[in-house]
A and B are shown apart, each in its own frame.
Chain A
Amino acid sequence: MQVYLPIAEISVNALLLLAMGGAVGFLSGLFGVGGGFLLTPFLIMIGVPPAVAVGTQANQLVAASISGVLAHWRRGNVDVRMGLVMLVGGSAGSALGVALFNLLQRLGQIDLVISLLYVGLLGFVGLSMLVESVSALLLPHRAATRHKLHQHSWLHGLPFKMRFHRSRLYISALLPGAVGFFGGILVAVMGIGGGFILVPAMIYLVGMPTALVAGTSLFQIIFTTAATTVMQAATNHTVDVMLAFLLLTGGVVGAQLGTRIMERLRGETMRALLALLVVMVAAKLAVDLVSPPLDRFSIELTQIR
């Protein structure tokens, strides 16, 4: 069933988009990541202009994160205070990101930067998660004693200390703020929620309890993606509501399923699966970067509107 996308100005298969949205939503519910890191490359592959893919993704992620966060909220797995601190950083990050996106697009380097970011970030995060979770799976008794209550490092010497009751943490507000800032840039530049960066950063850097991480990162992502959607629509006209609707219809259903499956899986198994997926995507993109392109030349329509 073909559907014409009014902003992307191409005709695509609606069922394909629904299925892809569903698959990505499933991952989002399962791992607490937005799944944008899979969806953006996919949309570009089927012919959606990169700018529209990124802008629309942000819109789609609003719905996916809300439906995801509801499930976590009912279980009390959202640290609102932590989320709000991250949001302050996130807003600044996404404003910077939208400006950066425009600059890179003018220079013709946006695709390269997106690919490099994907390979670098996904590769690093995926590999370290894979190593960590596989060793935890193989040696379960060590995993139990892995978490020390007090792991003091220079990070704990930073000023502006705040108490986060829900997470049982007393840390500098700069820490979650910086994590949110970085996530905000990713939302705007890569069209992703940034969950795959936020989740590990919140576990390993901020030191939050794993149970709270998915819900809190989703909570924060709602606001950064909403702000990014409005900014992209207002400045670049790159939000395609038809495309977003198809993706989120599949996405919200998938997200609910994912959340349910999550409850039956062990944390380590989950992380190993996510890590594997992330590493695979990174490897694919890395191969694309170094292998000779089919055509060394590419064209881009200079906007006439």
Chain B
Amino acid sequence: MIDGRRQRRLWRRVAQLIAGFLGANALVVAWLSVCGAQPLVADLSRHLVAITTGFTGAEVVLFGATDGAGDVAVVVTGPRSGVTVRRKNRVAGIWVNTLGLHFDPVPAFYAVATSKPLETFVNPSVLERHQIGLEHLRLEPVEPVARDKAVEFRDALIRNMQRQKLYGSSLGQVAFLGDKLFRTSLLFPANVPTGLYTVGVFLITNGNVVSAQTTPLAVSKIGVSDEIFEFSQRQPLLYGVLAVIGAVFAGWLAGTLLRKS
């Protein structure tokens, strides 16, 4: 019974995956039919980063082709949520959180790869519009605050994310193979947040974005870890009771077994 259910889940996932893949391709096709030409095509080696029990991080290869000269920038953005940034101050000799600012939305993951250092080939206004590069990522506090304070907390937010390896601290490289083909590896650390990611690929000529493509990438728990997580969310009380029963049994088992040895 359980095997059957698991199998059905697996198939549903595969179906979702294929649907996502086809959707991405459909986007490309739609783009092509609008433009007539084929300025930029890109795809990922896979559209699902599966977090299994032994997950230690993952590498996804992005490859693509351009129809002419230009530079490529790749932006990976994770699912967005709210984040509270807190600042410690010294109160009576002890460091205490005294000030908190909410930022929303904040991508849980952000990384950029380019074929050249960004500033050398793109207008700052273009970077701003497409949010390419950490300093151009739009992060605003929810409450209105003084400009310098907002900047200070924004920098702290990015610094903390970088420390957790969730924001790309240095720009990765997009390598051109010849004039038209390019590729880059997107690296996801072991603590990568789950959710739907978007991978934006921009073709930039003469400082302007001439073509862009967005590809979805799912980061999802698979197998045992997924089942446990789903169960804990859907049946929290039962989950808690079972956790206790499991612990009681384990404790009793150990107590009884080790006594005889």
Contact = CB atoms under 8 A, between A and B. Distances in A.
Q: B81, B224, B232 — which one has the most chain A CB atoms within 10 A of its CB? A: B232
A2 B251 CA distance: 24
Interface stretch (A5-13, A138-146, A156-164, A274-282): A5-13
A298 B236 contact: no
Contacts of B108: 301
Contacts of A244: 243, 247
A297 B232 contact: no
A290 B85 CA distance: 21
A266 interface: no
Interface in A66-111: 66-71, 74, 108-109, 111
Judged by DSSP, the binding face of A is helix
Given A6-B229, A297-B156, A298-B160, A65 B244 contact: no
A299 B85 contact: yes
A289 B96 CA distance: 9
A64 interface: yes
A3 B251 CA distance: 22
Nearest to A249: B250
A117 interface: no
Contacts of A47: 191
Contact of B233 (A1, A226, A237): A237
A4 B255 contact: no
Contact of B255 (A66, A241, A304): A66
B203 to A, nearest CB: 33
B245 to A, nearest CB: 9
Contacts of A167: none
B104 interface: yes
A152 interface: no
A47 B192 CA distance: 13
B247 A63 contact: yes
Given A229-B240, A233-B243, A297 B251 contact: no
Contacts of A11: 55-57, 190-191
- Report, as a range, how many residues of chain B touch the other chain: 35 or more
Interface in B74-126: 81-89, 93-97, 100, 102, 104, 108
A263 interface: no
B136 to A, nearest CB: 20
A230 B159 contact: no
A242 B228 contact: yes
B146 interface: no
B258 A299 contact: no
A62 B244 contact: yes
Contact of A299 (B56, B83, B239): B83
Interface in A196-239: 226, 229-235, 237, 239
B62 interface: no
Interface in B218-245: 221, 224-226, 228-229, 232-233, 236-237, 239-241, 243-244
A255 B257 CA distance: 13
Given A248-B251, A300-B84, A290 B232 contact: no
A133 interface: no
A299 B256 contact: no
Interface stretch (B15-23, B30-38, B46-54, B178-186): B46-54
A108 B86 contact: yes
B5 interface: no
B234 to A, nearest CB: 10
A53 to B, nearest CB: 15
A59 B255 contact: no
B225 A242 contact: yes
Interface of A: 1-7, 9-11, 47, 59-60, 62-71, 74, 108-109, 111-112, 116, 226, 229-235, 237, 239, 241-242, 244-245, 248-249, 252-253, 255-256, 289-290, 292-293, 295-302, 304-305
Given A67-B255, A239-B243, A297-B85, 20 more contacts: A5-B225, A6-B224, A60-B247, A67-B254, A108-B84, A108-B86, A108-B97, A112-B94, A230-B237, A233-B237, A244-B243, A290-B93, A293-B95, A296-B88, A297-B86, A297-B153, A299-B85, A301-B81, A301-B82, A304-B81
Interface of B: 51-57, 81-89, 93-97, 100, 102, 104, 108, 153, 156-157, 159-161, 163, 190-191, 193-194, 221, 224-226, 228-229, 232-233, 236-237, 239-241, 243-244, 246-248, 250-256, 258-259
The 3 closest A-B pairs by CB, nearest first: A233-B240, A66-B251, A252-B254
14 contacts: A9-B194, A62-B244, A63-B250, A63-B251, A65-B251, A66-B255, A233-B236, A245-B250, A253-B258, A255-B254, A296-B89, A297-B86, A299-B83, A304-B81
